[in-house]
Amino acid sequence: MSTLAGIVYLVATAFFIIGVKNLSKVRTARKGNQYAAIGMLIAIVVTLVEYAGLDWRIVIAGLLVGGGIGAWMAKRVEMTGMPELVALFNGVGGLASALVAGAEFWGKYLPNPFSKDFAPAAIPDGLSDQLGSSIWAVAVILSVLVGSVTFLGSLVAMGKLSGKISGNPVILPGRHVILGLIGVATLYAAYMTGFGGVAGGAAIGLIALAVLASVIGVLAVLPIGGADMPVVVSLLNSYSGIAASMAGFVIGNPLLITAGALVGAAGLILTMIMCKAMNRSLGNVLIGGFGGASAADDSRDYTNVKSSSPEEAAMVLEAAESVIFIPGYGMAVAQAQHVVKELGEELEKRGAEVRYAIHPVAGRMPGHMNVLLAESDVPYEQLWELERINGDFKNTDVTVIVGANDVVNPEAIDNPESPIAGMPILNAHESGTVLMIKRSLSPGYAGIRNPLFERENTLMCFGDGKEFLASILEELKDT
């Protein structure tokens, strides 16, 4: 690599770091995304210029096909489908890293197994020297291993998020024993790939490593319930970064090492933040099984529910001086974010203080609610994090919950035996009045009943979130 390319790589790295820094705040997140995109453009251009002997027909075809697919998906996928798209991106990133590392290893040191002359032979001296330090071999193994786990694991997560696979935990009989046996086989395949001493064995080991790691990815995500999907998505994002960083070591590209490390570290930090927000350890999340068997039995679990019409809800809001909106996945499904913003503006015209409380795990991916509200141009200063706003609910006249469930469930505070006991929630139940907008009394993704539905200060507003809010807005404008 030339000195100039190294300097430009440092510039691209700086853009990545500045981008990640800006992504940590809602106000600067869009700018951070733009900085990171500039850094990636610089990296791609320099890499294409630096590497001689490229077949530009293949490069241009790849750019056109990949860019076309990306543009098509960006236009076609709605905000409700964004979690699945992020999961898919994580998986594709992991697959790309595994293919790069595998192709580099295979192309340099292994015979063509489809050739008539293929036969297991001793690994050439060059490979023995290369693997003598162990570092390069370990990088290849880790990139293929982590990348394959990420790819299939992300596809399962995507299926759960899109509803194509049940959001409930899928518990296989003897799954821990099965995973243990597959783990042992994976370690042996890894040994054969890098240190077996026979080229034919390395070829078989490489293929077996990718297949076994893919199975691990599937079996690791299947037992995890839908309530934990935000954590899984951020963890798989971290995995994709680790795989990319290892691929950087394999091909000797310092920028790929740095960029992958940044993604891996950022994803892991976000994962730990999400676990803290649910008061659960990462190990507990990965063991899975949460949110399945204990599912509440819909309306038969409740005996003291008070419902409200849009007219009654409008009367409550008309007299409110302070209002907090709590968005959840139901808002995303109903595409109600724009109506929420219009209703907030109408209340502000009437002199009410309006804010939006964001729980870290609301929705189906990290930052899901922030993205939706930003799309509807809700002012950044009105978006409040859990820690900043939780003490204000007791002084709030009305809290409007739009499709959220588990993140406002007082069971986390009142019932030490609850599966979500100790989980930090938004203390909506402390408000003067709670307007709970939901289609039904069904439980959230955690699968447990919510006593907030029966509280004296709660009015259940049954119906589609967008339509119900639009009716409230119409009533307010008519008064």
Tell me which of 313 and 30 has the higher pLDDT. Answer: 313
- Is pTM, for the whole model, over 0.85? no
Note every long-range contact of 464-468, with CB atoms under 8 Å and residues 24 or more positions apart, other chains counting: 464/334, 464/439, 465/330, 465/331, 465/333, 465/334, 465/336, 465/402, 465/403, 465/437, 465/438, 466/334, 466/335, 466/336, 466/339, 467/334, 468/310, 468/313, 468/437
Q: Are 36 and 13 in contact (CB under 8 A)?
A: no
| DSSP conformation class of 307 | B
pLDDT confidence of residue 122: 42
Residue length, the chain?
Answer: 479
Instruction: Specify whether 116 is located in the same domain as 8.
Output: no
Residues 110 and 68 in one domain: no
Angle at which helices 337-349 and 368-375 cross, to 10°? 60
280, 302: one domain: no
Of the pLDDT bands very low, low, confident and very high (cuts 50, 70, 90), residue 224 is confident
Q: What angle in degrees, to the nearest 10, is found between the helix axes of 199-221 and 135-162? A: 30
Higher-scoring residue by pLDDT: 75, 351? 351
The region, left, alpha or beta by phi > 0 then psi within -120 to 50, assigned to residue 197 is: left
Cα separation, 386 vs 359, in Å, equals: 6
Per-residue pLDDT reduced to its tens digit, 285-326: 887 655 544 444 454 568 889 999 999 999 999 999 999 999
Annotation marks residue 406 as catalytic:
yes
pLDDT, position 376: 87
Average pLDDT over residues 203-224: 92
Q: What is the DSSP string of 396-424?
A: -SEEEEES--GGG-THHHH-TTSTTTT--
Same structural domain for residues 233 and 328?
A: no
What confidence score (pLDDT) does residue 263 get? 93
Q: What is the largest CA-CA distance in the chain?
A: 86
Residue pointed to by tokens 């800006």:
22
**Token pair 């994709």: residue:** 240
Give the tens place of pLDDT for each residue, 422-476. 889 999 999 999 999 998 888 777 678 899 999 999 999 999 999 999 999 999 9
Mean pLDDT of 43-69: 87
Domain count, the chain: 3
Per-residue pLDDT, averaged over 14-19, amounts to 94
8-22, 67-81, 395-409: least confidently modelled range: 67-81
Q: Please give the pLDDT value at position 203.
A: 80
pLDDT for 198: 58
| Average pLDDT of the segment spanning 332-357 | 94
Q: What is the mean pLDDT of residues 215-224?
A: 92
Please give the residue range of the domain that contains residue 10. Answer: 1-76
- Amino acid 109: pLDDT: 64
Q: Is residue 6 part of a domain?
A: yes
The answer to whether residue 292 sits within a structural domain is: no
Q: Which residues contact 399 (CB under 8 A, 6 or more apart)?
A: 323, 324, 325, 326, 357, 393, 428, 431, 433, 434, 435
- Highest-confidence range of 83-87, 173-177, 356-360, by mean pLDDT? 356-360
Which one of 255, 287, 319 terminates a domain? Answer: 287
Mean pLDDT (whole number) for 357-380: 85
Give domain status of residue 293, yes or no. Answer: no
Residues 456 and 315 in one domain: yes
- Average pLDDT of the chain? 86
Mean pLDDT of 151-165: 89
The Cα–Cα gap between 339 and 211 comes to 47
Please say which residue of 287, 313, 337 terminates a domain.
287
Judge if 201 and 255 occupy the same domain. Answer: yes
| Active-site entry in 406, 414, 464, 478 | 406
Average pLDDT for 54-79: 86
Q: Is the pLDDT of residue 200 over 70?
A: no
Q: Tokens for 382?
A: 């009105």
On the question of pLDDT at 26 being above 60, the answer is yes
Shared domain for 315 and 366, answered yes or no, is yes
26 and 149 co-located in one domain: no
Q: Which residues pair with 401 in a beta bridge?
A: 326, 436
Lowest mean pLDDT among 143-147, 279-283, 344-348: 279-283
Note the pLDDT of residue 281. 81
In this structure, are 316 and 431 located in the same domain? yes
Whether residue 369 is found in the same domain as residue 437: yes
Would 133 be classed as within a structural domain?
A: yes
- Provide the pLDDT confidence category of residue 15 given band limits of 50, 70 and 90: very high
Residue 94 has pLDDT above 90, yes or no: yes
Summarised one tens digit per residue, pLDDT across range 371-423 is 888 888 898 889 999 999 999 999 999 999 998 998 999 999 998 888 888 88
Could you tell me if 89 and 72 lie in one domain?
Answer: no
Indicate if 49 and 120 belong to the same structural domain: no
The pLDDT score that the predictor gives to residue 479 is 76
Residue 175 belongs to some domain of the structure: yes
CA–CA separation, 69 vs 72, rounded Å? Answer: 5
The last residue of one of the domains, among 76, 100, 131, is: 76
Residue 258 is assigned to a structural domain of this protein: yes
